[in-house]
Amino acid sequence: MKITIFALKKRILYFLISAILFAMGVSLVIFGKRFQHFRGWFGDYIITIFIFFGIKFIFPRLNRIRLAIGVFIFSSAVELIQLSGVCDYYNLKSAFWQLTIGSRFDFFDIFLYAAGCLSAAVIDGIIDRINSK
């Protein structure tokens, strides 16, 4: 399979977006302790965008709508795991599990996941439109 300059530029852009979002997420964890609601809500919003562009970096030809739906389903499933109490049952209290699965269910998070997925799909559409000119 031949990799074009266009495809390589998109991959670099997807990587840069992912790296920036990762840095923002780490910054929220480190510096956002005073702003718990902002940290949680904005973190939930940007994590879905990060996952979207992380996957687009690896698989740049994936359909943006299907990917956004898949990321939303995945994120919502993780939120439902929080509701199930699995972390308490298996005593998953370490920082790793708190960041990976989360600590408490919040129905509002599902709206933030949807907003993040929608934003990611729109941004990807803008990238395609700009690159096609």
Structural domain boundaries in the chain: 5-131
Question: pLDDT, tens digit, for every residue of 43-53?
Answer: 889 999 999 99
pTM of the model: 0.83
DSSP state of 106: -
Q: Which of 47, 110, 112 has the alpha carbon at shortest distance from 83?
A: 110
Question: pLDDT, tens digit, for every residue of 32-84?
Answer: 777 776 777 888 899 999 999 999 999 998 999 999 999 999 999 888 887 77
Which pLDDT score, from 0 to 100, does residue 93 have?
Answer: 66
DSSP state of 32: G
Residue that the structure tokens 């698989």 belong to: 59
Query: How far is residue 91's CA from residue 52's CA, in Å, rounded to a whole number?
Result: 30
Residue that the structure tokens 């495809």 belong to: 7
Which pLDDT score, from 0 to 100, does residue 9 have?
Answer: 83
Across all residues in the chain, what is the average pLDDT? 83
* Residue 29 CB contacts under 8 Å (≥ 6 apart), including other chains: 39, 43, 99
